[in-house]
Structure 1
Amino acid sequence: MELRQLEAFAAVMSTGSVTGAARLLARSQPAVSRLVQELEAEIGYALFTRHGPRVTPTEQGFLLYEDVDRALGSLQQIHLRAAEIARGNAQPLLLAATSALALGLLPRALRQMEAQAGTMPIQLRSASAEQVVHAVLSGAAQLGASSLPLEHRGLEVHWIGQMPCVAVLPQNDPLAALEVVPLEALAQRRIITMSNPFRLRHRLDATLARAGHSPARRDALIETNSSVNAQALARAGLGVAVLEPLTACGAPLEGLAVRPLDTDIPFVFGVVTPQAKPITAPVRALIDALLAAASELPHFVQHDVSAHAALLRTLYGGGDAAADEESIS
């Protein structure tokens, strides 16, 4: 494979046509077509189905694009870093975080850190929890902030925090008049929630089911991969969002009310770095600033990193809950 082939493939994927890719790359249309065809011959399968000047990615094309896009992005970072070294600039702080933590915690921490140490170049990428972990393990990020679990080999967990989920609903909703929203009141309401079944959603489903809102009622759910999306859906009157509290704190939307629930649904998150790499002074300062910023938020509880396994057993089952609670405390 050649870099030009990968760039041509990515450009066609982005623009949806060979003509558009040619304009984007400042190359001729035949040259782009030839590069894509050479790549297809190299890997042994078609990346696109052709419809005249337009193309449709094959399933294999979509799968390959994820890695190609990541590789080209890494190459672009190398180019930028090389230019920064030539200019004598400091290395940027490379961060990855789930959208909730990128919105509700990192801006506060970065402001606090820069107030003490001065400004510095920063690259912050918002991604899914799994992608945050991958970015840290692969070295694409020096620090990651994500929900639990974070027990992957190669990660160093620096601290773990916990906050209760909240109900987010339109200000004119009758439940917004309450200081605390009873979970039972949501039994007959349409719920807006996260789609990832292996993290916070697992606890949401279990808790709502105990309150009579069965996850089997698929018509009573709106699922999304973004808590910002969930807030927008709630503001449109499409349901009540049950969310972690950081998004509503970091990116509040006009017309919405945020209310605590009468039942604790814990959102548990942590800060990680690559285990095998030394921690730089800016990264260490940010780890401390993140903890300080989180500690200022309502109902924040810090857990020792040694409690990670016990927390997972308590949150997901599979152990003696009473013993786990004792070990967590």
Structure 2
Amino acid sequence: MNLRQIEVFRAVMRAGSLSGAADVLHVSQPAVSRLIRYLEQKLQIVLFERTGGRLHSTPEARALMREIDSAWRSIDRVQVYAEQLRHGVTDTLRISTNLSTALELVPRAVAELKTAMPRLHISIEIATHTQITDQLLAGECDIGVAAFVQNQHPAITPHLIGEGDVLCVMAARHPLASRKRLKLEDIRAYDVISFGMETQHGKVVEGLLGDEAGLRKPTVDVRYAYVACSVAANGWGIALVDDLTVFKYRDPALVARPLAKPVRYSAYAMASAERPLSAGGREMVRLLKQHWAAATLAAAGL
């Protein structure tokens, strides 16, 4: 496939019709139709089913589109980098972080890093631990920052940046809010917000609460601790979250209680074992450790 064929195929997939693609590309509809037919003949696969005057993409077309989108993102990154070079920026640090560390920790470290290295270009993306791992392995980010990390991929180098305490959060009017410390059996009697078993956070919560008789099955699933805090503060359920998120949430409608038997979690800055960190990356890891210590010390005053 050449670039023109890719461009037309993407336009048809995005527009969902030949006429829509033709409008976007400023060409005639027959020209788009001819190119799509030629592409199907060349690839020897059916890309679109035409039924009732409507165009429907086949599974093969959708699979091809995913690959094209991935390649297009790479091209976009090259263009962005070329633009940076034009402005004299020769180094880029791509950070993928989960929301807990993105609320307080990563921004503080980034601000200090930029002060020391003003010409360094930094990009930040919010992602789950699984997404961060995939991005590191694919070379799509340089540093991944995540809390509740338990298992590491063998091709990823972890740098421990700190540890914290798991807290139980709930609305100020919740029955458990009057207690100073909570046992796990106390928590099991109430609705607990889930983080899903596919997330590291969710696995930690599931491991703590187990699957005992009488445990209420979660009916609210979220991906980020900050969202769980918001749901709880608005009057539904309780959640087991990291102290860093609780410290940043700071809402009088939400109360946090420690567990009677403390549960610790770990946070890491991760990098590919095959791609050593740049000077900016190494400094970022150092700053993350430094600011983690300061943030957890402040959080301990809750």
Instruction: State the TM-score, normalizing by the size of structure 1.
Output: 0.73
What corresponds to 1:232 in structure 2?
Answer: 230
Residue of structure 2 aligned with 1:286, choices 258, 263, 284: 284
Taking the aligned partners of 2:34 and 2:246, their CA distance within structure 1 comes to 49
Question: C-alpha displacement at 1:74, in angstroms?
Answer: 1.6
Taking the aligned partners of 2:152 and 2:234, their CA distance within structure 1 comes to 38
Q: Does 1:86 align with 2:86?
A: yes
Q: Which residue identity does 1:232 align to in structure 2?
A: S
Within a 5 Å distance, the mapping from 1:56-95 to structure 2 comes to 63-95=63-95
Q: Does 1:297 align with 2:295?
A: yes
Identity of aligned residues (%): 26
CA 1:239–1:107 in structure 2 vs 1: closer, same or farther (change >3 Å)? same
What corresponds to 1:135 in structure 2?
Answer: 135
Question: May I ask how many residue pairs the two structures share in their alignment?
Answer: 297
Taking the aligned partners of 1:227 and 1:29, their CA distance within structure 2 comes to 49
Residue of structure 2 aligned with 1:271, choices 269, 272, 290: 269
Question: C-alpha displacement at 1:43, in angstroms?
Answer: 5.4
Question: C-alpha displacement at 1:163, in angstroms?
Answer: 1.9
Q: Does 1:195 align with 2:196?
A: yes
Taking the aligned partners of 1:51 and 1:274, their CA distance within structure 2 comes to 47
1:217-253 alpha-carbon deviations (Å, 9 max, x no partner): 43x4322233343233323433112223333344556
Within a 5 Å distance, the mapping from 1:152-167 to structure 2 comes to 152-159=153-160, 161-167=162-168
**Comparing 192-201 and 8-17, the one that deviates more:** 8-17
**Comparing 132-141 and 175-184, the one that deviates more:** 175-184
Query: Does structure 2 conserve the Cα–Cα contact (< 8 Å) formed by 1:17 and 1:53?
Result: no
Instruction: State the TM-score, normalizing by the size of structure 2.
Output: 0.79
Taking the aligned partners of 2:176 and 2:276, their CA distance within structure 1 comes to 50
Taking the aligned partners of 1:211 and 1:4, their CA distance within structure 2 comes to 59
Within a 5 Å distance, the mapping from 1:117-266 to structure 2 comes to 117-118=117-118, 120-147=120-147, 148-149=149-150, 151-159=152-160, 161-197=162-198, 199-209=200-210, 214=215, 217-218=216-217, 220-250=218-248, 255-266=253-264
What is the RMSD of the two structures over their aligned residues, measured on CA atoms?
3.5
Report the secondary structure of 2:267's partner residue.
strand
Question: C-alpha displacement at 1:97, in angstroms?
Answer: 1.8
1:39-92 alpha-carbon deviations (Å, 9 max, x no partner): 555655555666768666555555554443332212101011112223322333
**Comparing 43-52 and 171-180, the one that deviates more:** 43-52
Report the secondary structure of 1:130's partner residue.
helix
Question: C-alpha displacement at 1:255, in angstroms?
Answer: 3.5
Q: Which residue identity does 1:235 align to in structure 2?
A: A
Query: Does structure 2 conserve the Cα–Cα contact (< 8 Å) formed by 1:136 and 1:273?
Result: yes
